[in-house]
Structure 1
């Protein structure tokens, strides 16, 4: 295949590089989702107690350790990527994730090795959090530096798309395994199979990432767009500080929205008194909506500009939660819950490829991986671990399922206010007055 003279890489090399980053990103997200899905079984294996509540709390506390590790990973791995290059940092995140994944899925239970079991699992979970904290900032920086000016949104959206694919896959695998082998086998070994599937993908990911071209350092690939050097340093109408502050607000709001979707299975059972099957099906619908949104969002932010791609879906999304949740309350069931979760998640998924690109375009290359990783990790740490508690409290205090709709509406409104302060950063559209 002839070289792509506009970029210095062939289309095949570009696809391979994007695939290597997306596959590793998907693996890390898959592990986090499966761990949450199997929390009861993991609690029984490593935190046995006469109280089912105590076992579950031990497992959820271990899950939370992964969030604590994210800022640590964002700081350490992000600085490593800025100093030594994106490729070695992307390899390091995979090694750490592999060690953590093996530690959780292969460690014998408390019944076999006693207190060493939960100690090993907590440490393994911390390593996974460190890896995840660095992965997002480094992979986003790498993708936007690899992409040409006209395709930054589509290429960078693969980060969000891979998360969506992983979310759908993890939900399906969890449901299939749990239904296929029964609760007893699931608690004995099934959860290990679900987690261990990620280990099968790890060697392929390491091989693919080892062949990545470098975008930061003396061996970097320099992409050009129509004769203009656009890869070594991006230009943006937003200052780094503006992009970081507003980006943190948007990512925090997006995290709350995502965990509202994850909470759907619990909401269906505890509040609407529907079956677990309905709740899981609705969660799957939400994950599918996020996936379709991520795919479409990358294209729209390249075609229409960053700001329209952010604002338009959320203007629609502002008017979705209240009527949709009113329908859910009036006619609780699979149709109303799955459709509503899909529609709201789709509107959210459309937004975030443009958010990621806007933040990354404003950051200087020498500090991009570290700064983006911190902007992403801190809001996710704060709201990822607290949103489901907040939802449970709101539903208890208000006594109405509409509390979820009010929270979703509030975060969309806050997001729109933050978006209003951002400037258009698409290089060919910064002078246009619309949405400026």
Structure 2
């Protein structure tokens, strides 16, 4: 039985949300599971160093993936504005699967020497290039399938999918850590998440075949001669600078709370690895569960009010939470701290990620979104674990990550004040013809 046009619109919306969420979740699973295995990978690929050196180089390699994000955002964002959102999303998924396969089957340092960490770095560069374009293309697709009154809800599924990927990765690594011996984990257990991550390739095929494109692709002969990056920088330069500044606080908090906290809890607080990883799983669960509700909330009250008030809450909570946790580390305290910080993170990130594509016109929306997000995350997100680890060692103060988060949150609020809130506004002249899902 075929659907009528009126019935097909909500169906297409749900299909877009489900397919995009699954694809994004698997991509973030692949990209972030490396962070949950930092201690194991450090022993296998940097064994000539002491424990601190192993950890520092491992989290630095985690951050290396973010160096390529701006380039991936520029190249894949331009591709998304030229060839369509679906084509760009499919490309990022296959690149992420390639990087995942390289890590899954990488020989260790004991087997091939210095070539082993070099191979890991190359894989992380490929994954970073992929991730740099994925967020822009997928968020733009979601926003362009929404109406002015549902953009926050649709875009929220981008962050919800990130939470789902984190949840799956932390749970899997936590279960492996709890059930396998140290020898088995270092022998083959650490490879399991990366092997499973290779399964994202079939999802890419599904997205390519079944999703409805939101961009009218212009034939190459009639396309504008100026590149989308040139247009973004020349016509929207001030917006780009303010937007990059505005997201650094949220990205720093996300990568410290979600990816560095397990390592911090194990190495600095002495908590068992499964407990620390299940704390990260709690972050993913809260992000996945709360993001759609925060998205609808932002559609009603606006993006900036939620971001500002959640950042005030985060500033007030950061230091007391870290102090309380370090005074008497326990699983209960870890879960409470992670839960509180995660809630503030969701409330500021969902409207923040919605604002980014709302700032740019449709012909360069994916490029603008990708550039802003990838640069902000590359500079202050991916290297947050590295900076936190270095600060802890340099100062000897277990509260050093709290001071870093506090500084990043306060600085990023300045950029937010310069941005216009486009909640409820019509972004494009042509109507989408899609009705909201009730």
| TM more than 0.5 | yes
Q: Which moved more, 1:39-48 or 1:311-320?
A: 39-48
In the alignment, is the contact (CA less than 8 A) between 1:68 and 1:126 conserved in 2? yes
Q: Which moved more, 1:393-402 or 1:148-157?
A: 393-402
Measure, in 1, the Cα distance between the counterparts of 2:65 and 2:169.
18
State the match for 1:90 in structure 2: 89
State the match for 1:227 in structure 2: none
Residues 412, 146 of structure 1: CA spacing in aligned structure 2 closer, same or farther, 3 A cutoff? same
**Following TM superposition, by how much is the alpha carbon of 1:161 offset from its aligned partner in structure 2, in angstroms?**
0.3
SS at match of 1:154: helix
State the match for 2:294 in structure 1: 297
Q: For 2:251, which of 251, 255, 266 is the aligned residue?
A: 255
Structural mapping, 1:275-290, within 5 Å: 275-290=272-287
Q: For 1:266, which of 256, 263, 267 is the aligned residue?
A: 263
**Following TM superposition, by how much is the alpha carbon of 1:83 offset from its aligned partner in structure 2, in angstroms?**
1.4
State the match for 2:340 in structure 1: 343
Residues 147, 336 of structure 1: CA spacing in aligned structure 2 closer, same or farther, 3 A cutoff? same
State the match for 2:388 in structure 1: 391
Q: Which moved more, 1:63-72 or 1:38-47?
A: 38-47
In the alignment, is the contact (CA less than 8 A) between 2:175 and 2:274 conserved in 1? no
Measure, in 1, the Cα distance between the counterparts of 2:396 and 2:40.
31
**Following TM superposition, by how much is the alpha carbon of 1:266 offset from its aligned partner in structure 2, in angstroms?**
3.2
Q: Which moved more, 1:63-72 or 1:407-416?
A: 407-416
- Could you report, residue by residue, the CA deviation over 1:163-201 in whole angstroms, capped at 9, with x for unpaired residues? 011111100100101222211111111112111111234
- Could you report, residue by residue, the CA deviation over 1:38-93 in whole angstroms, capped at 9, with x for unpaired residues? 23444555556486666666654543332222122111111111111111111111
Residues 39, 370 of structure 1: CA spacing in aligned structure 2 closer, same or farther, 3 A cutoff? same
State the match for 2:31 in structure 1: 32
Aligned length: 410
| Structure 1, gaps ≥5 residues long | 221-238, 431-436
Residues 79, 117 of structure 1: CA spacing in aligned structure 2 closer, same or farther, 3 A cutoff? same
Measure, in 2, the Cα distance between the counterparts of 1:85 and 1:27.
21
**Following TM superposition, by how much is the alpha carbon of 1:338 offset from its aligned partner in structure 2, in angstroms?**
1.7
SS at match of 1:320: helix
| Structure 2, gaps ≥5 residues long | 220-234, 428-438
Q: What is the RMSD computed on CA atoms of the aligned residues?
A: 3.0
In the alignment, is the contact (CA less than 8 A) between 1:255 and 1:383 conserved in 2? yes
SS at match of 2:213: coil
Measure, in 1, the Cα distance between the counterparts of 2:104 and 2:267.
29
State the match for 2:416 in structure 1: 419
State the match for 1:366 in structure 2: 363
Q: Which moved more, 1:253-262 or 1:414-423?
A: 414-423
Is 1:321 matched up with 2:318?
Answer: yes
Measure, in 2, the Cα distance between the counterparts of 1:138 and 1:315.
30
- Could you report, residue by residue, the CA deviation over 1:2-51 in whole angstroms, capped at 9, with x for unpaired residues? 4454xx95222221122222222111211122112223444555556486
Residues 169, 419 of structure 1: CA spacing in aligned structure 2 closer, same or farther, 3 A cutoff? same
Structural mapping, 1:401-416, within 5 Å: 401-416=398-413
In the alignment, is the contact (CA less than 8 A) between 1:43 and 1:56 conserved in 2? yes
**Following TM superposition, by how much is the alpha carbon of 1:101 offset from its aligned partner in structure 2, in angstroms?**
1.5
SS at match of 1:10: helix
In the alignment, is the contact (CA less than 8 A) between 2:99 and 2:123 conserved in 1? yes
In the alignment, is the contact (CA less than 8 A) between 2:174 and 2:273 conserved in 1? no
Measure, in 2, the Cα distance between the counterparts of 1:19 and 1:383.
30
Q: Which moved more, 1:358-367 or 1:202-211?
A: 202-211
Residues 412, 55 of structure 1: CA spacing in aligned structure 2 closer, same or farther, 3 A cutoff? closer
In the alignment, is the contact (CA less than 8 A) between 1:278 and 1:333 conserved in 2? no
Measure, in 1, the Cα distance between the counterparts of 2:46 and 2:142.
40
TM-score after normalising by structure 2: 0.83
Higher RCO by CA contacts (8 Å cutoff, separation 6 or greater): 2
Measure, in 1, the Cα distance between the counterparts of 2:312 and 2:40.
41
